[in-house]
């Protein structure tokens, strides 16, 4: 086997980016203003990217879907010197969670070699299925809900009634929720945060066995990078939520009937992922302000080595503010 010398783990650099966004946005926790919290995270993330030696381009940004502040699609990030990388960002995944002080708001960035990250174009929404490593290769998103649940239960050596399914609490999921209940499984309904839901489905001990339902395409691609590293399986289908979105998706030549599998969503193992908790959550604690600084908690992954790190960081604002133009206090 050909061996290569270890090179720089860019995921650790990404953690600095998500930490900055989390620290900046956490000041808005529970204040009821999701736009200002999101804008603080976007500004901090954009500044932090400048310190990374990459020639990056935002392929998956946020903003157009919900008129939020945004790192726009096509925006260059990084110093411009270094590897050419595709970037997916969600400065605040769960802006409503942050605004209302609810669990599982996180800041997320994923990065892959140029050309290896799925670009959904005008598609804002996709239907997603995420299952844990035990059920990898056993499921099909086109199958009836009951059959999918039976296969996951079998893979996990459980009964269907033992399963807990993560579903976004949206009107569009009325039939899905009814089908899950009819099959006998249990449900956790969340108002937002399906990147967190996908991670919970593949990380042991979170209380979630599977994620199902339609959410944002940016969140879908971000989740796919993490699932590729952690193990498990993700499948998706574009699922326009309006006639105008459907028209634009079809005009862009996208097939809404195609099942997007892992290699369609992320076509490389040389991927990087970082997420930092903003509010306390199931698998990541939120920002803990200490009076003179803060503590942050991050999940950092490198696909090439399969390394997953839980990083606890302590930040001193008196020192940090001397070298940073980001307002943390």
Residue 167, judged by CB atoms within 10 A of its CB (0-12, 13-18, 19+), counts as buried
Which phi and psi (to 5°) does residue 277 adopt? -70, 140
Rounded to whole angstroms, the Cα distance separating 171 from 191 reads 11
Query: 192 a known binding residue?
Result: yes
Query: 90 a known binding residue?
Result: yes
> Could you tell me which of 185, 238, 175 has the C-alpha nearest to residue 209?
185
Rounded to whole angstroms, the Cα distance separating 220 from 228 reads 12
- The DSSP bridge pattern shows strands 210-216 and 164-168 to be parallel
The count of C-alpha atoms lying within 13 angstroms of the C-alpha of 57, restricted to the half-sphere facing its C-beta, is: 12
Rounded to whole angstroms, the Cα distance separating 84 from 229 reads 20
Query: 140 a known binding residue?
Result: no
Query: 170 a known binding residue?
Result: yes
Query: 243 a known binding residue?
Result: no
Query: 255 a known binding residue?
Result: no
The DSSP output letter for 189 is E
Query: 35 a known binding residue?
Result: no
Query: 194 a known binding residue?
Result: yes
> Could you tell me which of 59, 55, 64, 62 has the C-alpha nearest to residue 41?
62
Query: 125 a known binding residue?
Result: yes
**Residues 144/131, Cβ–Cβ less than 8 Å:** no
Q: Give the tokens for residue 274.
A: 């970082």
Rounded to whole angstroms, the Cα distance separating 20 from 40 reads 10
Helices within the chain (DSSP H only): 10-26, 34-49, 95-99, 145-155, 174-183, 194-202, 217-230, 243-251, 262-265, 317-323
Query: 86 a known binding residue?
Result: no
Number of Cβ atoms within 10 Å of the Cβ of 93: 27
Query: 38 a known binding residue?
Result: yes
Rounded to whole angstroms, the Cα distance separating 4 from 7 reads 9
Output the known binding site for substrate: 93-95, 125, 170-172, 192-194, 216
Residues marked as binding for Mn(2+)?
A: 38, 62, 90, 93, 219
Binding annotation? 38, 62, 90, 93-95, 125, 170-172, 192-194, 216, 219
């Amino acid at each position: 086997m050909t061996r290569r010398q270890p090179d720089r783990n860019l995921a650790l650099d990404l953690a600095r980016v998500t930490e900055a966004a989390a620290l900046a946005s956490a000041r808005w926790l529970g204040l009821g203003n999701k736009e200002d919290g999101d804008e603080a995270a976007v500004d901090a993330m954009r500044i932090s990217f400048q310190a990374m030696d990459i020639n990056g381009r935002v392929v998956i940004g946020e903003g157009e879907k919900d008129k939020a502040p945004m790192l726009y699609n096509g925006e260059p990030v990084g110093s411009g010197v270094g590897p050419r990388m595709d970037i997916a960002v969600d400065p605040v995944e769960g802006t409503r969670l942050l605004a209302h002080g609810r669990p599982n708001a996180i800041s997320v960035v994923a990065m892959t070699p140029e050309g290896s990250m799925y670009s959904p174009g005008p598609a804002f929404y996709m239907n997603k299925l995420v299952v844990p490593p035990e059920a990898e290769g056993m499921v099909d998103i086109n199958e009836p809900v009951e059959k999918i649940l039976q296969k996951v239960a079998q893979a996990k050596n459980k009964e269907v009634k033992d399963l807990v399914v993560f579903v976004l609490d949206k009107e569009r999921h009325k039939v899905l929720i009814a089908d899950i209940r009819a099959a006998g499984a249990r449900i956790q309904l969340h108002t937002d945060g399906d990147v967190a839901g996908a991670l919970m489905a593949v990380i042991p001990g979170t209380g979630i066995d599977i994620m199902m339902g339609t959410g944002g395409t940016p969140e879908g691609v971000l989740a796919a990078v993490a699932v590729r590293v952690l193990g498990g399986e993700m499948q998706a289908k574009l699922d326009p939520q309006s006639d105008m979105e459907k028209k634009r998706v079809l005009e862009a030549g996208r097939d809404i009937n195609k099942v997007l599998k892992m290699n369609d969503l992320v076509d490389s193992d040389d991927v990087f992922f970082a997420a930092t908790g903003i509010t306390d959550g199931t698998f990541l604690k939120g920002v803990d302000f200490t009076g003179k600084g803060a503590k942050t908690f991050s999940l950092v992954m490198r696909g090439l080595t399969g390394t997953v790190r839980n990083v606890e960081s302590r930040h001193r604002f008196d020192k940090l503010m001397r070298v940073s133009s980001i307002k943390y206090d």
